[in-house]
């Protein structure tokens, strides 16, 4: 009798446990379906593989810039566009400054900088009195000239990472201007020549706060200038660098005739990269140089991971390359479209996304659109 009671009791316990287990599994399944499984509230979405087309294939995009939640596309005579990259399903927003009468790919919006509610655009036209800087406020986009009439097209803008209101502008006439109130007023701080070369980039040293470097396309040799007092005075490094290259290689022809980029290791103040037809690297503050990439191209962007300076992304016209060991070795990343050319890139290192625009190899240099890629 006792044994039968125990057997019945065991059977009842087993039934109860099975019922509890079944109920628990159902509850877990429902929680997951409803996105309430306790950790993040939702299961993470898989990251897209490869390049993702973002649009603007019909616009003459010259470069893209990332400020906050927005990616801006400087589309020459087609004007300025932006898209909220944090918002799923967002579309491009036209911000103005279009002029279909301007020459293709040459004039119009060439660069942009953003600070809070203020936007500054670099603008170029064949008429000197209409070229220069334009400013607008967020939400209004009523663009007004701000010291326009600089004489030549403004080729690049560079906001200071050390002083929020300070911004520098480089012009195609071989001069650099500085503003301490984010584009309301400008003063000329460097003149290379009255009708000098194009200023390609203006870079701030990531460690030495008052140090600024300027590189550009020269006539006989590349333009390279440095300021150690926030742009008040400048040192001409062209001949010094020419002598260094001559003594190091025994042939001055190694010295590049144009420079398109300069970048600094944020963890080592002595490491400098120079982009030209080759990619050069110095590990002693510029006393000696070696080639880290000698495939012919135009090295437009050298992007260094601020959290791990061994990781570097480089765009070079026909290729996008990545190094994970401080430029010792490189791997090529396939471009979004075959027979395409890549120019400037913007990198979100926290989310590990690279943004760019590409164009065809045809003589017309037809823009194929803006793309992004997770890496």
Q: Measure the CA–CA gap between 63 and 68, rounded to whole angstroms.
A: 17
The total of other beta-carbon atoms located within 10 Å of residue 332's CB is 12
Cα separation values, 118 from 155, 165, 188, Å: 19, 10, 22
Write the pLDDT tens digit of every residue in 194-219: 666 788 999 999 999 999 999 987 66
The CATH code of domain 58-259 reads: 2.130.10.10
Rounded (5°) CA angle 182-184-185: 105
Dihedral, 4, 6, 11, 17 alpha carbons, nearest 10: 170
Residue 292 near residue 282 (C-beta atoms within 8 A): no
Q: Tell me what pLDDT residue 5 has.
A: 39
Q: Measure the CA–CA gap between 202 and 272, rounded to whole angstroms.
A: 14
Find the range with the poorest average confidence among 272-276, 293-297, 306-310.
293-297
Write the pLDDT tens digit of every residue in 275-301: 888 898 999 988 888 889 987 678 899
- Residue 76 tokens read as 């020459």
Q: What is the residue whose two structure tokens read 């050069």?
A: 280
Find the range with the poorest average confidence among 43-47, 236-240, 252-256.
43-47
Tell me what the mean pLDDT of segment 333-359 comes to.
94
The beta-strand segments (E) located in 58-102 are 63-67, 70-74, 80-84, 93-96
Q: Tell me what pLDDT residue 27 has.
A: 44
Q: Where are the alpha helices (DSSP H) in 217-363?
A: 238-249
Dihedral, 47, 74, 56, 365 alpha carbons, nearest 10: -110
Segments making up each domain of the chain, as ranges: 58-259
Phi, psi of 169 (to 5 degrees): -130, 135
Single pTM value for the model? 0.83
Q: How confident is the model at residue 55 (pLDDT cuts 50, 70, 90)?
A: very high
Examine the pLDDT at 344 and tell me if it is beyond 80.
yes
- For residue 11, the SS3 value is helix
Q: How confident is the model at residue 161 (pLDDT cuts 50, 70, 90)?
A: very high
Q: Where are the alpha helices (DSSP H) in the chain?
A: 2-33, 238-249
Q: How confident is the model at residue 79 (pLDDT cuts 50, 70, 90)?
A: very high
Q: Tell me what pLDDT residue 26 has.
A: 43
Find the range with the poorest average confidence among 44-48, 154-158, 201-205, 335-339.
44-48
* Residue 363 vs residue 13, higher pLDDT: 363
How large a percentage of the chain has pLDDT more than 70? Answer: 78
| Ramachandran region, residue 30 (left: φ > 0; alpha: ψ -120 to 50; beta: rest) | alpha
């Amino acid at each position: 009798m006792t044994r039968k009671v125990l057997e019945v009791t065991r059977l009842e316990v087993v039934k109860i446990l099975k019922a509890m287990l079944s109920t628990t599994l159902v509850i877990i399944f429902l929680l997951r379906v409803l996105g309430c499984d306790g950790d993040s509230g939702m299961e993470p979405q898989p990251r897209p593989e490869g390049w993702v087309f973002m649009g603007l294939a019909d616009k003459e995009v010259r470069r893209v810039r990332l400020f906050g939640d927005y990616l801006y596309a400087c589309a020459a005579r087609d004007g300025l566009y932006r898209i909220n990259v944090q918002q799923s399903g967002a579309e491009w927003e036209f911000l103005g400054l279009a002029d279909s009468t301007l020459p293709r790919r040459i004039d119009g919006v060439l660069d942009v900088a953003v600070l809070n509610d203020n936007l500054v655009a670099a603008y170029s036209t064949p008429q000197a009195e209409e070229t220069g800087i334009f400013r607008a406020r967020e939400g209004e986009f009523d663009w007004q000239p701000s010291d326009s009439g600089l004489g030549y097209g403004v080729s690049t803008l560079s906001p200071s990472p050390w002083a929020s209101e300070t911004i520098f502008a480089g012009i195609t006439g071989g001069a650099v201007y500085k503003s301490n109130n984010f584009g309301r007023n400008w003063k000329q701080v460097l003149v290379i020549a009255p009708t000098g070369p194009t200023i390609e980039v203006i870079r701030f040293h990531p460690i030495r706060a008052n140090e600024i470097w300027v590189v550009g396309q020269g006539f006989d040799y590349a333009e390279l200038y440095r300021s150690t007092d926030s742009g008040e005075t400048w040192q001409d490094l062209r001949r010094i660098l020419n002598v260094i290259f001559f003594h190091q290689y025994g042939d001055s022809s190694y010295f590049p005739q144009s420079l398109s980029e300069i970048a600094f290791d944020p963890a080592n103040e002595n490491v400098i990269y120079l982009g030209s037809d080759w990619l050069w690297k110095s590990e002693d503050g510029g006393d000696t140089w070696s080639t880290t990439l000698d495939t012919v191209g135009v090295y437009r962007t050298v992007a260094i991971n601020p959290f791990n300076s061994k990781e570097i992304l480089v765009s070079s016209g026909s290729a996008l390359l990545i190094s994970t060991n401080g430029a010792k070795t490189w791997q090529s990343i396939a471009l979004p479209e075959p027979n395409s050319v890549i120019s400037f890139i913007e990198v979100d290192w926290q989310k590990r996304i690279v943004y760019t625009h590409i164009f065809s190899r045809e003589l017309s240099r037809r823009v194929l659109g803006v793309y992004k890629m997770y890496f």
